[in-house]
A and B are shown apart, each in its own frame.
Chain A
Amino acid sequence: MATIQSIAGELEPHPDVALVERVRGGDVSAYDELVRKYDRQIFRIAQHITQNREDAEDVMQDAFLKAYEKLDQFQGNSKFYTWLVRIAVNESLMRLRKRRTGKMVSIDEDIETEEGSVPRDLADWAPDPEQNYGQAELAEILRKTIQGLPPGFRIVFVLRDVEGLSTEETAETLGLSIPAVKSRLLRARLQLRERLSRYFRRKKGAKK
């Protein structure tokens, strides 16, 4: 327990550190707090990777249970949240592999595509283009669009841009190098932009 404090050094310890220490001391209710704090994010990440509701439910349970079991292995040199995300990503990939038996599913595979490297659709978007769609319709467009990305791009975009992890945390979580995360992020952003243009571009004839 002292290790967490000493690694954190002079910096103010993250509030999760105190909760983790309480759990290690046998206070299960502190774990309840941690679960409530991060369950939505973990569920979202699991859905993005597995693209399956039931799998995401299982991943969420398994990730929190595994984290609880392995709490002694949590060193405190990364944030509890980043550590938890890493467990959830691994659980999600395992589910995905089970479901797609025979097909390789890896975030390490190099994706041979030049799509998105050079933007082709250069039409500007309507102002506040999302307002042209109802909530449910917009959510469907966003889901469909992001599901079309290769898994290795999708995961990087979700962790970095949706869940707000830093480049370093994303690299650590996925076991990728920082240049690999950066390159995937750029391509993911550009591919999503290109695909969303279909829905959000200014209508022909509309003046800028």
Chain B
Amino acid sequence: MTCTEFLALLDDLIDDSVTPETRAELQQHLRGCDHCEVTLSTTRKTIEIYRSHEIYDLPADLRERLHAAIMARCKKGC
């Protein structure tokens, strides 16, 4: 397997949607390729960081204000 072929399957590997045979091939490639190993681990980390850090927080007071505005209009039938 070449690095380009590995890269084409990177998302499927990360999303755990590869067959056991393909997974074995990918893992075999990884054992001999530091570049792809780094690409895989840092791409996983990228996703994990974005998933676990709230970068656009909705402050409680704003949330309550928006919520009240929405519900007031819904009660009036919009």
Report A's interface with B, CB cutoff 8 A: 28, 31-32, 35-36, 39-40, 43-44, 47-48, 56-57, 60-61, 64-65, 68-69, 118-119, 122-125, 129-130, 138-139, 142-143, 146, 157, 161-162, 182, 185-186, 189-190, 192-193, 196-197, 200
Contacts and interface: CB of A to CB of B under 8 A. Distances in A.
B43 A64 contact: no
Contact of B55 (A28, A118, A143): A143
Nearest to A127: B45
Given A122-B39, A130-B49, A193-B39, A65 B55 contact: no
A35 B67 contact: yes
Nearest to A68: B74
Contacts of A48: 56
Contact of A61 (B4, B38, B41, B69): B69
A56 B11 contact: no
Given A124-B38, A129-B45, 9 more contacts: A39-B63, A43-B58, A44-B56, A47-B56, A119-B39, A125-B42, A142-B53, A162-B50, A189-B47
Given A28-B74, A43-B58, A197 B66 contact: no
Is the contact region of chain A dominated by helix, strand, or loop, or is it mixed?
helix
Given A31-B74, A32-B71, A189 B46 contact: yes
Interface string B10-47: 11001000000000000000000011001101110111
B78 interface: yes
A43 B74 contact: no
A193 B49 CA distance: 11
B43 A39 contact: no
B55 A142 contact: yes
Contact of A186 (B10, B55, B58, B70): B10
Contacts of B38: 122-124
Given A130-B49, A193-B39, A61 B66 contact: yes
